[in-house]
Chains A and B, each alone.
Chain A
Amino acid sequence: AQKVTQAQTEISVVEKEDVTLDCVYETRDTTYYLFWYKQPPSGELVFLIRRNSFDEQNEISGRYSWNFQKSTSSFNFTITASQVVDSAVYFCALSGERNTGFQKLVFGTGTRLLVSP
């Protein structure tokens, strides 16, 4: 079965600190997709990134970066120079071929990030 583990329940940092959110996944599929979503206090799910299993290149988007390592089944997310507006719950998610052609996303339990001024 597919599984996503976000071991960090809550992280508190002070503004401008760097923070890394961990995501470890389990799947027997050779082709799969990994996602990160942000859920601010208003409740919506904001898409951050989608990465397929064949692309292990790290990605950077502004203050956000992602480290995908198949060898350790991890897809970690780093926010550089955190800001108060980054305060939210962050979810890692996985979809694989066995789930009717990738249609179902399996989410982790989320990491609540609190950034204080």
Chain B
Amino acid sequence: EPEVTQTPSHQVTQMGQEVILRCVPISNHLYFYWYRQILGQKVEFLVSFYNNEISEKSEIFDDQFSVERPDGSNFTLKIRSTKLEDSAMYFCASSEDTTNYGYTFGSGTRLTVV
């Protein structure tokens, strides 16, 4: 069963530091996403990415956030100058086509900002 792989599984960072969360989507998938889940709350969409550009972003995804596909396999989420309220589980996902076939989530990165 193909998987979306996320690293690290848990990251602790000091407030004000930059973090990069990494994801390896399923190899034949074309659409990539980041979601966020604050502890005990629902999963919220951050951004979608297709053909090397952002296709949609939520109001949460402000200038503090950026995404990149630096090579043919990785998809990263960078958070600049982290705040305490950025503490959450961050999920990467990928899908094969526009009908969301095979929409698969990674196991998540738990980010703790102290």
Chain A residues with CB under 8 Å of chain B are: 33, 35, 37, 42-45, 47, 50, 52, 91, 93, 95, 99-110
Could you say which of A44, A99, A102, A110 contacts B107, with CB atoms under 8 Å apart?
A: A44
- Chain B, interface size: which category? 20 to 34
Residues from chain B with Cβ under 8 Å of A104 in the complex: 33, 45, 48, 56, 58
Query: 8 Å CB contacts to A: which residues of B58-111?
Result: 58, 89, 91, 95, 98-101, 103-108, 110
Whether A47 and B103, one on each chain, are in contact in the complex, defined by CB atoms closer than 8 angstroms, is yes
Residues from chain B with Cβ under 8 Å of A42 in the complex: 107
B contact face: mostly helix, strand, loop, or mixed = strand
Tell me if B55 counts as interface (CB < 8 A to partner A). yes
Assuming the contacts A100-B56, A103-B56, asked whether A45 and B43 have C-beta atoms less than 8 A apart, the reply is: yes
Whether B44 and A103, one on each chain, are in contact in the complex, defined by CB atoms closer than 8 angstroms, is no
A contact face: mostly helix, strand, loop, or mixed = loop
Known contacts A35-B103, A103-B31; 6 further A-B pairs (Cβ under 8 A) = A47-B103, A47-B105, A50-B100, A103-B50, A103-B95, A107-B44
Residue of B nearest to A43 (CB): B108
B19-32 CB mask vs A (1 if < 8 Å, else 0) is 00000000000010
Whether A102 and B56, one on each chain, are in contact in the complex, defined by CB atoms closer than 8 angstroms, is no
Q: What distance in Å separates the Cβ of B94 from its nearest Cβ neighbour in chain A?
A: 11
Residues from chain A with Cβ under 8 Å of B110 in the complex: 43
Residue of A nearest to B33 (CB): A103
Q: CA of A101 to CA of B95 in the docked complex: distance in angstroms?
A: 12
Tell me if B51 counts as interface (CB < 8 A to partner A). no
Whether A37 and B42, one on each chain, are in contact in the complex, defined by CB atoms closer than 8 angstroms, is no
Residue of A nearest to B108 (CB): A43
Whether B45 and A105, one on each chain, are in contact in the complex, defined by CB atoms closer than 8 angstroms, is yes
Residues from chain A with Cβ under 8 Å of B43 in the complex: 45, 91, 93, 105, 107
Whether B104 and A47, one on each chain, are in contact in the complex, defined by CB atoms closer than 8 angstroms, is yes
Residue of A nearest to B106 (CB): A44
Q: CA of A44 to CA of B55 in the docked complex: distance in angstroms?
A: 25
